[in-house]
Amino acid sequence: MQRKIPYIFYFIDKYNIDELTNLEKNIDLIFRNYNKELKIDEIKSIHKFCKIDKRNLYLSNDIKLALKLGLSGVYIPSFNNSLNFASKYSLPDKFEIIGSAHNVSEIRIKKFQKCSKIFLSPIFKSKKNQKFLSPIKFNLTAISEDVDFIALGGINKINYKKLRLTKVVGFAGISWIKKNGLRELRPFLKI
């Protein structure tokens, strides 16, 4: 499926149909739940929803299961430093590996892991992260790398327009997207 930039990703940890139907149609989902055992039926339900809604679904940190279920791809978190993460698998053409990083050394690891998009975070200050990159530091980190970057961390109603100043092809989030389904972003999405 041909996608228009910007790419938008939303992190979920459970199947909540009310929450998912409230989202704009161009938002892809990343299922990550590190607190409990994965329920394959739950992932299948999310995948079915994504197929009907024409969204991509990425599973965090489990390439074998993502391939088995025919998902769009896999998301490799920053704490996964395995250099041979995908090397032992034969990947379908449309299967995508995406990952997250916080610094240049992690970016290099994600490139070695064959990530086509790297979530660089945090870009803005948030309650969770007092230490952040800012658009200028983000660009300085991203400019020398030949990869697509996704902004992550602290993006909200006040600062999302600053993303235009960065070398990003999209952004990701949880709380702000959950709060409004990104309906306030229509002007930004048309750029």
Mean per-residue pLDDT over the chain, rounded: 83
Domain that holds residue 118: 7-189
Count how many residues are written for the chain.
191
**pLDDT beyond 70 at 190:** no
Domain count, the chain: 1
Name residue 181's beta-bridge partners.
none
pTM of the model: 0.85
Element (H, E) at 142: helix 134-142
Q: What is the rounded average pLDDT of the residues 41-64?
A: 94
CATH number of residue 112's parent domain: 3.20.20.70
Q: Can you tell me which residue has the tokens 């607190």?
A: 35
Considering the domain boundaries, does residue 49 fall inside one? Answer: yes
Beta-carbon contacts of 5 under 8 Å, excluding residues fewer than 6 positions away, are 169, 170
Q: Which residue has the higher pLDDT, 165 or 117?
A: 117
Taking the C-alpha atoms of residue 117 and residue 86, their distance in angstroms, rounded to an integer, is 15
**Is 1 inside any structural domain?**
no
